[in-house]
Amino acid sequence: MSTETSPRGSAPGAGVAATDVAVVDHTAAADRRAERMRLLAQPVLVLLLTGGVLAWAFSRDLNATQQASISVANLATLTWQHVLITVAVVVIVVALAVPLGTLLTRPGWTRLAPVFVGIANIGAAAPAIGLLVLFYLATRTTGFWIGVLPIAFYSLLPVLRNTILGYQQVDPTLIDAGRGQGMSARTVLRRVEFPMAVPYILAGLRTSLVLAVGTATLCFLVSAGGLGVLIDTGYKLRDNVTLVVGAVLAVSLALLVDWLGALAEVYLGPKGLR
Amino acid sequence: MAGRRKLLLRKVAAFAMVAATAVTLASCGLESGGALPLKVGPGSITPVPELEGVPITVGSKDFTEQIILGYIIEFALSAAGADIRDLTNIQGSNSTRDAQVHGQIDLTYEYTGTGWINYLGHEHPIPDPTAQFEAVRDEDLTRNGLVWTDPAPMNNTYALATSRATAEATGVRTLSEYADLVKRDPAAATTCVETEFNVRQDGYPGMAAAYDFDPAKAQKQILQTGIIYQATADGTQCKFGEVFTTDGRIIALDLVLLDDDRSFFPKYNPALIMREGFAQAHPQVAEVMAPVSAELTDEEITELNRRVDVEGKEPADVAREWLVDKGFVTAAD
């Protein structure tokens, strides 16, 4: 068996392959340009949204009830709580889903993959509000972790699914090549398979991040705070100013987090695949 | 060209059909109302000739107590001979109010505090229940042409509650004693509230002002309503919790209500309200309902709420059962 050393594909039918590659490169370049534009535009949009809604709210004549919600200190506290919930969720999701996904693609373990994907599916399919309340009923405690853990379970699926997918799409011939060069299975995993799976894992993580920011608006139900407090206060009191401030800040946070995810995809992916 | 126009026409037709269906479905909302689910015969309420066959639509908001109250009106007036349409369970206070103002419902139980604060737009309630009722009655009649009849003694307002164990351990039975505890030992007075109660002026901030303590010093947790009742009963996460005074879970979870000894919380006594024209045309309605309203105390309604929320019975069954027990009507098949 002859091994090709050319970096791009195989030699047979090289003429046809070359034109295909050119077309692919062309659209890929256009995609990259659009992506770069988005990377620039998104933080600007976040700033405009946040600045706009705050300027709008603070320039209004707020009554005593609204002032209790819309104060700099309160907004900062709630936003910070929201960020902490999101960070904790993401850390848990990555720490759980990436090793689990790696394990479930190793020989001998693949049969268990449907079981765990099934469990993660249940987490994603169940309503987040139900998970939160069930988790409270099971533990009879309230607070930060009671808000974080159900949301982590809820956002586990995209990362787990994409980790498994990321490993599955690695060309088996590359693994063979690695083994043929005398690498151990572990070294192949570390130096070949994992780097090639990273873009998929990051794409999954980005989905999870946005899910986590969105569902963290429900964490207030179990005393974990977050921007959901403003949304619920505004809704219950028919106070649209508080409602809009809470909702727009949550949207801005989701856009910001999505942007960070996109940056991670650009800068943390393997160099050769960027 | 012709083909394209035909396609366009077909699209327009399809869109029109979808739109028409949507309009038809949407208009079902408040059109008719249902018939009474159970039948009653006369008890101490006997048929009134003037009400015989008079069509009356009764409405209520969408929570347990309101639905029970709605059915109580319906069964009582049905025993008096009226032809009742049932429109209980309207989504939210504001929709119920709009339905009444626009004549889709004739009769409903409304709370004095809700009328004063939500509908008439006052920020500060009147502490005395009678003065509060008279103020709402007079203003709503002049401004909106709505007639309020004498209110029931029950008062579904806010309160702080605690578990029996916490009440005994701390000795706190009134809001003044609660305020002392917050000043002395905030950690022993962890209080669970809803988002809304946490900021509204007739909620926690106003209560703190009325009882002279610093709301920032109190240790508060913001929780979902249902969780507050359970967590307060457990007594570990929440030593005190915000509740509604007539909620059935107060009995079921053996919660102790703290006495509002400075009479801070608004009064939410329910009274029958109707449009002026209806009240003048059918003065008998108020006469028939007056003894029924008078029987509706906190204890009675809390027990009825408990039967629905805790035992899972149907509001209509519970309402009829109560009217039969009180002798107002008899059950009929």
Please check whether residue A181 touches B, CB under 8 A. Answer: no
3 state DSSP class of B220:
strand
- Lowest pLDDT segment from A152-166, A228-242, B40-54, B60-74: A228-242
Q: What was the pLDDT predicted at B124?
A: 83
Please check whether residue A139 touches B, CB under 8 A. Answer: no
Does the pLDDT value for residue B14 go beyond 70?
no
Q: What was the pLDDT predicted at A5?
A: 37
Residue pLDDT, tens place only, B282-318 = 999 999 999 999 999 999 999 999 999 999 999 999 9
Buried b (16+ CB within 10 A) or exposed e, B110-148: bbbbbbbbbbeebeebbeebeebbebbbebbeeebebbb
Q: What was the pLDDT predicted at A76?
A: 96
Please check whether residue A143 touches B, CB under 8 A. Answer: yes
CB contacts of A223 in chain B (<8 Å) are: 192, 221-223, 237
Residue pLDDT, tens place only, B159-188 = 999 999 999 999 999 999 999 999 999 999
Chain-centre distance for alpha carbon A122: 18
Query: Among candidates A143, A128, A118, A140, which has minimal Cα distance to A220?
Result: A143
CB contacts of B194 in chain A (<8 Å) are: 236
Q: How confident is the model at residue B200 (pLDDT cuts 50, 70, 90)?
A: confident
Does the pLDDT value for residue A36 go beyond 90?
no
CB contacts of B197 in chain A (<8 Å) are: none
Does the pLDDT value for residue B260 go beyond 70?
yes
Distance from CA of A67 to the nearest CA of B (A): 9
Does the pLDDT value for residue A19 go beyond 60?
no
Q: What is the mean pLDDT of residues B46-51?
A: 95
Q: At what angle do helices A144-154 and A194-215 cross, to 10 degrees?
A: 130
Alpha carbons B75 and B272: distance in angstroms, whole number: 15
CB contacts of B123 in chain A (<8 Å) are: 63-64
Q: What is the mean pLDDT of residues B99-117?
A: 94
> Which residue of B91, B224, B225, B230 to mutate against A (max A Cβ within 10 Å)?
B224
How much is the pTM?
0.77
Does the pLDDT value for residue A4 go beyond 50?
no
Q: What was the pLDDT predicted at A2?
A: 38
Q: What is the mean pLDDT of residues A38-63?
A: 94
Q: What is the mean pLDDT of residues A84-90?
A: 95
Determine the residue type at B260. Answer: D
Q: What was the pLDDT predicted at A9?
A: 38
Mean pLDDT rounded to a whole number for chain A: 88
Percent of chain B scoring above 70 in pLDDT = 90
ipTM: 0.75
Percent of chain A scoring above 70 in pLDDT = 90
Distance from CA of A82 to the nearest CA of B (A): 14
Which residues lie below 8 Å from residue A262, measured CB to CB, with a gap of 6+? A35, A38, A39, A42, A206
| Contact between chains at A136 and B200 (C-beta distance less than 8 A) | no
Q: What was the pLDDT predicted at B6?
A: 54
- Token look-up 């029987």 returns B295
> Which residue of A141, A221, A230 to mutate against B (max B Cβ within 10 Å)?
A221
Alpha carbons A181 and A145: distance in angstroms, whole number: 47
Q: What was the pLDDT predicted at A160?
A: 96
Distance from CA of B307 to the nearest CA of A (A): 22
- Which positions 225-254 of A are in contact with B (Cβ < 8 Å)? 225, 229, 232-233, 236-238
- Lowest pLDDT segment from A3-7, A39-43, A260-264, B113-117: A3-7
Q: What is the mean pLDDT of residues B110-126?
A: 89
CB contacts of A143 in chain B (<8 Å) are: 221, 237
CB contacts of A64 in chain B (<8 Å) are: 123, 201, 205
Mean pLDDT rounded to a whole number for chain B: 90
